[in-house]
Chains A and B, each alone.
Chain A
């Protein structure tokens, strides 16, 4: 077997080079490159650039996880196996070490008003204790990153406090962008990306399993709500957000508390899950992956993120002109959900065909573990984006039929 290394996206680290023989070669995995190693991957390869490790890294080594280099971080890609982990999150509860994600805190004057210039979602009515999923836009309306802005309210002296969580691969880019466009004289910007542990606990039993370790009543926190709470007697940031399509929390704590919480959740039967299951879960829920489904070249309107674009309320923000033009003249392409008719799996970068001609591109694809058939996200011309439209995906030189279907592919039973 020799692998095809697909063109690495901008997220792909340069450091992870192919080791000659014993590895299974490099393979695309989401927007990660999987350097298949062989159970010794926790040993730093000779001469390899030092990679970053999260506070939970030693606990994942103890669990015999397999690791991959992801945006310079040595991250667990799987523990027991992607399917088993995936099913645990859909059926009970799973937890993910996402400590590699970018974590910023901002405090100062008119922080939300300053951020408003950079995102197309209206922040003016974002309640304290609520969060907004949104995108940073470049002047052309392309997406610099997707992120969550958590409004933590105002201190006694009138300064606003905001926490922002961003993708690991884009942390430095986002930080540069924010620092260049916010007024440093009026706010304090802290990058806590390497200082804190972040654990996502997701699944139908996630909250019940997490509750015993939390002082506050998690049931009172709304979807996309968040609190400054108490985990194992220690301060913690708790947010009812996630990237799996299930209910659950993301818990940001000190490294030591993170390690203890991870172990306690493990003892309580929560399945440890790696980046592999994280990718299949988010794809079933049709959540975009930065670097693949959304990039500097795609606008939120094209990416089916129109629901977070509030141009009526946001009268001035980066990229607004482009979005207004797209609204007025219509979109040339749209991100759609595809269901493959046969068994062949559409993958990132495969061409989408209509009447035998290439018309678009798959951005993410997998065999859906929950549904049992292959699903994909793809950009296609707007005229071919209606649910029910028949298309094809070119897989290793052959056209395989596909149909445009509703997103998400999977929705949790309410």
Chain B
């Protein structure tokens, strides 16, 4: 299966992605298809509550596959506007559509400059595929 690296996203070296909406007011955070593929069958997810704040580079949740437990890190500081409650109930669905229905959080960013440190799709792909 060829993995996707959508161009309109920015990526962390810890495999989370950030997508800025057109009005530049909301950032959607998820996990890259590469990371989900590497983790294998996802069985558990922990996310913050709506209204919580998240910090750039800090842990905001946990994702578990059958074998592995991994921290989720935020690409940006801000307030949690919504979280994907469907995914909390059926975490395995994250693999079906990581960049669409498999999103994790929508964040109201404090400062969009936080994203300046994130990678382009091309850079991220080069890093993870190591070519």
Task: List residues of chain A with CB under 8 Å of any chain B CB.
Answer: 1-4, 21-22, 24-25, 27-30, 34, 36, 38, 40, 77-78, 81-83, 276, 279-280, 343-345, 347, 366-367, 369, 396
Contact = CB atoms under 8 A, between A and B. Distances in A.
Interface string B34-71: 11001111011010000000000000001111111111
A81 B40 contact: yes
Contacts of B15: 1, 24
A1 B40 contact: no
A345 B65 CA distance: 10
Contacts, number: 88
14 contacts: A1-B70, A3-B68, A3-B69, A3-B71, A21-B13, A21-B128, A22-B127, A24-B68, A38-B34, A276-B66, A344-B44, A345-B43, A367-B43, A369-B66
B103 to A, nearest CB: 16
A75 to B, nearest CB: 14
Interface of A is mostly: loop
A83 B91 CA distance: 14
A367 B71 contact: no
Contacts of B16: 1
A38 B38 contact: yes
Query: Which 5 A-B pairs rank lowest in CB-CB distance, beginning with the nearest?
Result: A1-B70, A27-B68, A29-B67, A367-B43, A22-B128
B54 to A, nearest CB: 14
A367 B66 CA distance: 7
A369 B67 CA distance: 12
Interface string B79-91: 0000000000000
Given A1-B16, A2-B14, A345-B44, A27 B129 contact: no
Interface of B: 13-16, 31, 34-35, 38-41, 43-44, 46, 62-73, 127-130
A78 B65 CA distance: 13
A367 B44 contact: yes
Given A38-B130, A366-B66, A2 B40 contact: no
A62 B129 CA distance: 20
A27 B69 contact: yes
A347 B69 CA distance: 9
Contacts of A36: 38-39, 68
Contacts of A82: 40-41, 65-67
Contacts of A38: 34, 38, 128-130
B119 to A, nearest CB: 10
B73 A2 contact: yes
Given A21-B13, A22-B127, A22-B129, A2 B70 contact: yes
Nearest to B88: A343
A34 B73 contact: no
A77 B39 CA distance: 12
Nearest to A82: B66
Contact of A396 (B40, B46, B67): B46
A392 to B, nearest CB: 17
A367 B45 CA distance: 13
Contacts of B63: 1
A3 B130 contact: no
Contacts of A34: 67-68
B68 A345 contact: no
Contacts of B35: 1, 24
Nearest to B68: A27
Contacts of A22: 127-130
A3 B44 contact: no
A309 B83 CA distance: 53
B62 A396 contact: yes
B126 to A, nearest CB: 9
B1 to A, nearest CB: 10
A27 B41 contact: no
A27 B66 contact: no
Contact of A276 (B40, B46, B69): B40
A4 B34 CA distance: 19
A343 B62 CA distance: 13
A27 B67 contact: yes
Contacts of B13: 21
Nearest to A37: B38
A22 B15 CA distance: 9
A78 B71 contact: no
